[in-house]
Amino acid sequence: MEEKHVIKALSALAQPHRLQIFRSLVVKGPEGLTPADLLEELGLPANTLSFHLKELMAAELISQERMGRHLIYRAQYERMNAVLSFLTQNCCQGEPCEVLAQEMCTTC
């Protein structure tokens, strides 16, 4: 994955509403959610939701499919995994990581 695509994805997620939308779609899985479902879950105004969905689609983090009269939005797991892979590809200088989650969290 090219750095410019990672930057675009991270920029899209660097906004609270978009991050909430994306996380909701990830949790829902391949079934996806309609805008009505997202509106109910997140309590955003319709025009705000529409704007944020477009931004996430532009970053290729979510997809849209028309099913009859409904639009279904889904997280793009391949893209998400590619971003995560890019961020961690040189982790620990290529050696297996020995850091445990509890070691990283000082409040655990």
Q: Which of 10, 106, 105 is nearest to 56 (CA)?
A: 10
List the structure tokens of 78.
Answer: 């391949």
Q: Is the pTM of this model over 0.85?
A: no
Range of the domain at 25: 3-92
Q: Select the more confidently predicted residue: 101 or 9.
A: 9
Domain count, the chain: 1
**Are the C-beta atoms of residues 77 and 60 closer than 8 Å to each other?**
no
**Are the C-beta atoms of residues 75 and 62 closer than 8 Å to each other?**
yes
On whether residue 14 sits in a domain, the answer given is yes
Domain of 28, CATH number, reads: 1.10.10.10
On whether residue 99 sits in a domain, the answer given is no
On whether residue 16 sits in a domain, the answer given is yes
Query: What is the per-residue pLDDT across 53-69, written as a single tens digit (0 to 9) for each?
Result: 999 999 999 999 999 99
On whether residue 103 sits in a domain, the answer given is no
Q: 77-88 vs 3-13: helix axis angle to the nearest 10?
A: 110
On whether residue 106 sits in a domain, the answer given is no
Across the chain, what does the average pLDDT equal?
Answer: 89
On whether residue 102 sits in a domain, the answer given is no
